[in-house]
Amino acid sequence: MSNRDTSISKSQAKSINKIKSESTDNERQPCLDRVYDSIPSLRNLFKIIRKVGEGTFSKVYLAELLEVPNNFFALKHLVPTSSPKRVENELRCLHELRGQNNIIDVKACIRHEDNIALVMPYIPHEKFQDYVYKMSATDTRNYMRNLFIALKHVHSHSIIHRDIKPSNFLLSSDTGKYFLLDFGLAQNAPQMPTDVVHNENKCPQKATDCTSLHGADQICNLCIAKREQKAPREGTPGFRPPEVLLRYPHQTTAIDIWSAGVVLLSILSAHYPFFKAEDDMTALAQIMSITGSKEMAATAKSLGKRISNNPEIPPLDLKTVCTKLRRNRSNVLTSSSTSNVNSDEFSTYNPTTTNEIMFPDSAYDLAKRCIDLDPASRITAAEALKHPFLSTDSHSE
């Protein structure tokens, strides 16, 4: 671990002091003792100050290096029940990416029996929901450009992050730099052409789907006997693309691009989270309310799946949707209803309000390219960095 820079900035000191003041010694000590008991060597290395984050597979603590006071780190304590393969995969990904191009660095890994702690830089930062509503076009361009720089680097190593969301992409209030973190769900991207047609759902008797061959309510015995198709479903609800929701097994790095597009929609609409659903079918319905039901059905068919909706839902214009939601943040896309977004309301909506944050048309075009329903034609991270919205100098607008 490097200890060359022992100084602490004013913003970092403010962030750490705030964390220290948010809980009493009695409140935090039992939790911290459990961490020390799980990995005894930590007592000789760090003073753990407080838990600052928690996920399904880990808890994150702010810690001060005992040997060098005022040198702070984030300790990511992995849940002991985590699969060894998952732990090994996260470490491998972080080692390959080497803390470059907006990827968080790992300073050390400490293990005791089945307990593992990753030592990473502590990044003082604001919560996304505290600044998303006031981000300008320039702020948005910088944020998305840096996110795609990180994704280009990740994807160049044939790695799918699988959990792109604002809480995993931090803007340091200390340095103004960006950091992509949490590779706990990351996996290797499959080495296969994107234009391969997969027919797992085709009826064995003919090259068509079973219901069209045998009738809407009839499925042949051969199809009934087929094994259930398995596909990765990891990711955060609201950020998972159609191919994941439809359980398409041949998933690619395009998963991360969709999630980045949802982040961009949250900024453009000042509406976070943009999608919020309790189950996969509701999530698909919410996506269809934006992209259209015919378009979703066509994508499902290309993936060897079948989906239908009655009545038909027309696609909506993203700029109109985002502008409306930005002006009326109470119109939330909740899991209970998708009626907040409907074609009649948005097709007749005309912007009239002044004194508001405006975005160029290129921003909405980039969002549209990112949430392309077809993963094969979805824009890549490298292509996104060349998109007019990200490649344009902000002073030229």
Which residues pair with residue 110 across a beta bridge?
117
DSSP reduced 3-state for 56: coil
Q: In this structure, are 86 and 158 located in the same domain?
A: no
pLDDT of 192:
57
Q: What does the pLDDT look like over 248-269, one tens digit per residue?
A: 999 999 999 999 999 999 999 9
- Give the chain's domain count: 2
Q: What is the CATH number of the domain that holds 231?
A: 1.10.510.10
Regarding whether 104 and 76 lie in a shared domain, the answer is yes
pLDDT tens digits for 94-118? 999 999 999 999 999 999 999 999 9
DSSP secondary structure string, 332-387?
---TT-STTS-HHHHHT------SS----HHHHHHHHHHT-S-TTTSPPHHHHHTS
Among 104, 121, 138, residue at a domain's last position:
121
Q: For 81-91, what is each residue's pLDDT tens digit? A: 888 888 999 99
- Are 146 and 63 in a shared domain? no
Residue at 3 is within a domain: no
Does some domain include residue 240?
A: yes
Average model confidence (pLDDT) across the chain: 84
46 and 177 housed in the same domain: no
Give the per-residue pLDDT at 173.
81
- Domain assignment of residue 318, yes or no: yes
pLDDT band at 130 (very low <50, low <70, confident <90, very high): very high
Residues 353 and 388 in one domain: yes
Report the binding-site residues.
76
Taking the model in full, what pTM does it have? 0.84
Residue 380 is assigned to a structural domain of this protein: yes
Mean pLDDT of 219-237: 73
Domain boundary among 121, 138, 153: 121
Provide the residue range defining the domain that includes 38: 10-121
Query: Are β-strands 169-171 and 187-188 bridged in parallel, bridged antiparallel, or unpaired?
Result: unpaired
Query: Does residue 297 share a domain with residue 322?
Result: yes
Looking at the domain assignment, is residue 95 inside a domain?
A: yes
**Same domain, residue pair 105 and 139:** no
The CATH number assigned to the domain holding 102 equals 3.30.200.20
Nearest CA to 314 among 274, 338, 344? 344
End-to-end CA distance of the chain: 44
The two tokens of residue 114 are 């089945």
CA atoms of 294 and 316, how far apart (whole Å): 12
Residues 89, 24, single domain; the answer is: yes
Task: Cite the annotated binding site for ATP by residue number.
Answer: 76
Q: Indicate if 92 and 151 belong to the same structural domain.
A: no
DSSP state of 227: P
- Catalytic-role residue among 5, 163, 317, 372: 163
| Per-residue model confidence (pLDDT) at position 80 | 87
154 within some domain: yes
Last residue of one domain, picked from the residues 70, 103, 121: 121
Separation between Cα atoms, residue 106 and residue 344, nearest integer Å:
51
CA distance 390 to 397: 12
In a domain, 4, yes or no: no
Backbone angles phi, psi at 99, to 5 degrees: 65, 25
Tell me if 19 sits within 8 A of 62, measured CB to CB. yes
Per the annotation, the verdict on 344 as an active-site residue is no
Statement to judge: residues 146 and 248 lie in one domain: yes
**Same domain flag for 23 and 163:** no
Tokens of 278: 């309790």
For residues 175 and 20, the model is more confident at 175
276 within some domain: yes
Same domain, 185 and 250: yes
The confidence band for 344, taking pLDDT boundaries of 50, 70 and 90, is low
- Alpha-carbon gap, residue 50 to 31, rounded angstroms: 9
CA distances 183 to 70, 106, 159, Å, are 27, 11, 10
Q: What is the pLDDT of residues 1-53, one digit of tens each?
A: 544 444 566 666 767 766 666 655 545 678 899 999 999 999 999 999 999 99
C-beta of residue 72 within 8 angstroms of C-beta of residue 64: yes
